[in-house]
Amino acid sequence: MPKNLVIVESPAKAKTINKFLGKDFRVESCYGHIKDLPKKNLGIDIENGFKPAYRIIPGKRKVVKKLKDLSRQIEKVYLATDIDREGEAISWHLSQELAHPDKARIVFNQVTREAIREAIKRPGQVDLNKVNAQQGRRILDRLVGYKLSPLLWEKVKRGLSAGRVQSVAVRLICDRENEIEKFRPEEYWIVKARFGLSLKKACLEAKLSLIDSQKVKISSEAQVKEIAEKIKEQSYQIIRVRREEKKKSPQPPFTTSTLQQAAAYNLRFSAARTMKLAQDLYEGQEIGSEGRVGLITYMRTDSVRVAKEAQKEAREYIKKKLGEEFLPSKIPYYRNRKSSQDAHEAIRPTRIKRDPERVKKYLSNPHYKLYQLIWRKFIASQMERAVIDTVKVDIQGGVYLFKAESRKIRFPGYLLIYKEKAEKDESLPVVKENEKLKLEELSSKQQFTKALPRYTEASLIKALEEKGIGRPSTYAPIIFTIKKRGYVKSTRGWFVPTPLARVVNDLLVNSFSTLLDPHFTAQMEEGLDAVEQGERPWADLVGDFYHHFKKDLEAAEQKMKDIKKEGWKASSLKCEKCGGKMVLKFGRYGEFLACSNYPRCKNTRKVTQKTGVRCPSPGCEGEIIERSSKKGSIFYGCSRFPQCRFVLKTEPVVENCPHCGNSYLVKVKNGLKCPECGKRIEEFLVEELKLGRVPFKIMKRRSTTGS
């Protein structure tokens, strides 16, 4: 029988660690948390300092019994769970359940032979401050969930739930949707000119920037034409040429949030999928003759700090494989955010020599893509800056100033390995100051101001981090939860709040303005950080919160609008039976319209997602609505089904085809298409729709004015 028992969370991690330790060690998994608050009651003694009543999770009783039996047969227990707050809490609960005289806590940032053996040499104890921070968060979330959810059951519909942090994330999405709806695009025009060089065949393209030293602001086609006539009357020359050298520095290696953002942007991975793949890479993969090894460091972190050994290994690789010119003279230093816990390193490969191409054949395609992203980002963060040459040219003609600019990468530096966005050269012909130019062509382009786009997973995570809402381990669960609860739907990658989300959000904002305040939520995160640092008792933090929350809760029980009885926001529709207004209500199967004169009138009507497109079938007065098949697939059909069986597989858009005049277009991959003539719509309008910024039907067609 082995002398030592090592306990980790997952079987995969146990399998990897087991190969690093000898026959004197046995590695077992506890399969995550073994204890939690009870499901059927609050489990918190509010009157006794918010004391939690933890219970062994029913499904974990066999696991706990097995670990207890094993611990009685060995000399020492090592608690080797993850190094974040959740991992510390798991070790704490294990230490309570295993009545063994010799228990130690070991921590490591990467699942490698060296890291594990070093951790065994330096055992410690469970960090109770970190445990208390996790405990404080768990109790805060339980208080909000258990107190708010029954209120929503009573006022809106049974089965709803609310979360302390998730509700703030939903508010951000709802607030953005309100901004988009209120936004009114403003027309503006861009004027460009093409100038011929006096002694060369080359041309110089430039944009109108200033008129009489004032920034250009053209708001109508009539104004464009008036300015264009005056521009043509002028003589032009280059009044200034500025040549500059710009150095572009690499970004730091990944944190949890920046990894999730980059994986969403580059790989189209959801936050949850990114974290699952990253966990697999951290816990270990079979790599040929090396066996099972952890490929990346711990994936839940908000720090950009890097171990000196890893920086040294990266520098050796860069010098040997890429060339000394790509190696910076000084080791790069990256500063953490003020709110960063800096508990452990940034996310990086455990060994630089395991480059993506070397391990590709051992990994699944998703694992390979994510590992390649992490590896390249880290190597790039340790490389020399890129050098970019820019040329800026000012062209004057009377009161009109045109500007042209070019950029060319002289030395790629870190861009050789990792590009944050498409980098391309834009060149200008060789010019000099005081050179005379001839205006050859003048063009104009109509555009509109744009509302902020809806949130995507990546941009929501970025917003949560910037506002201090949540921590690395919570971003993916937040997004998973608001999706699961039906508060948002993802339309082409953009988060759109459901009617249920908007109703619940309005009710909570009106009754719990502090709880739903992003700034307050960020302060609570800072409070939990203070608990982890041993600067504040967790019960004090919870007590201060609950004092205000209880008052709001008591007031809401009396004053919150009863949606079950009154409905929400009278629509423009009237009841066809009694003439009363139809209001929005929520039932077991979703939202529906009901007569406001209930119970005198019990008329109800389904809520359908209308597209605004009239049914094109001859003689039909129906409208195209969103429908779903028995298998849940979305399609679009006539509202008068089964009388009219017109259907579309793709979503229609209210806009006449600019080519044939057909009354609607359909969305296709990378754009819009007319189902009648088969031609695509103009790029400008497609981009606006794709970004989810402004209602498509209020946009005007692109116009140009020739010289």
Q: What is the pLDDT of residues 319-354, one digit of tens each?
A: 999 999 999 999 999 988 766 665 679 999 999 999
First to last CA, the chain: 90
Catalytic hit among 54, 78, 236, 298: 298
Q: E strands along 449-578, which residues?
A: 488-491, 494-497
Read off the pLDDT of each residue in 180-189 and give the average, rounded to a whole number: 87
Tell me which of 26 and 450 has the higher pLDDT.
Answer: 26
Query: Per-residue pLDDT averaged across 481-503, rounded?
Result: 86
Residue closest to 442 by CA, chosen among 216, 225, 663: 225
pLDDT band at 393 (very low <50, low <70, confident <90, very high): very high
Select from 386, 369, 169 the least CA-distant residue to 267: 369
pLDDT at position 526: 93
> Taking the model in full, what pTM does it have?
0.82
Tally Cβ neighbours within 10 Å of residue 643.
10
Q: What is the mean pLDDT of residues 431-451?
A: 91
Higher per-residue confidence, 364 vs 701: 364
Res. 703 pLDDT band, cuts 50 70 90:
very low
pLDDT digits (tens, 9 = 90+) for 635-663: 888 878 888 899 988 888 877 777 777 88
Is residue 525 very low, low, confident or very high in pLDDT (cuts 50, 70, 90)?
very high
Residue 605 is predicted with a pLDDT of 79
Per-domain residue ranges of the chain: 4-126, 135-183+454-561, 187-249+386-448, 256-381, 566-606, 611-698
pLDDT for position 588: 76
Residue written as token pair 């109790």: 139
265 is an active site residue: no
Q: Which residue has the higher pLDDT, 590 or 224?
A: 224
How many CB atoms are located within 10 Å of the residue 185 CB? 17
User: Which CATH architecture does the domain made up of 4-126 adopt?
Assistant: 3-Layer(aba) Sandwich (3.40)
Q: In CATH, which superfamily holds the domain spanning 256-381?
A: Topoisomerase I, domain 4 (1.10.290.10)
What's residue 571's pLDDT? Answer: 62
Q: Name which of 111-120, 129-138, 561-570 the model is least confident about.
A: 561-570
pLDDT tens, residue by residue, 452-479: 899 999 999 999 999 999 888 899 999 9
How sure is the predictor about 705, in pLDDT bands with cuts at 50, 70 and 90?
A: very low
Q: Which fold has domain 187-249+386-448?
A: Topoisomerase I; domain 3 (2.70.20)
Mean pLDDT of the chain, nearest integer? 88
Mean pLDDT score, 89-113: 94
Percent of the chain with pLDDT over 70: 92
Q: In the prediction, which pLDDT does 699 show?
A: 32
Q: In Å, how far are 282, 378, 656 from 296, measured between CA atoms? A: 5, 11, 53
Rounded distance, CA 54 to CA 135, Å? 11
Task: Tell me which CATH code domain 135-183+454-561 carries.
Answer: 1.10.460.10
pLDDT for 682 equals: 52
Inter-residue contact 2 to 26 (CB < 8 Å): yes
- Starting at the edge strand that comes first in sequence, how are the strands of the sheet with 103-105 ordered? 25-29, 4-8, 76-79, 103-105
| Cα gap 391→406, rounded to integer Å | 5
pLDDT of 373 strictly over 60: yes
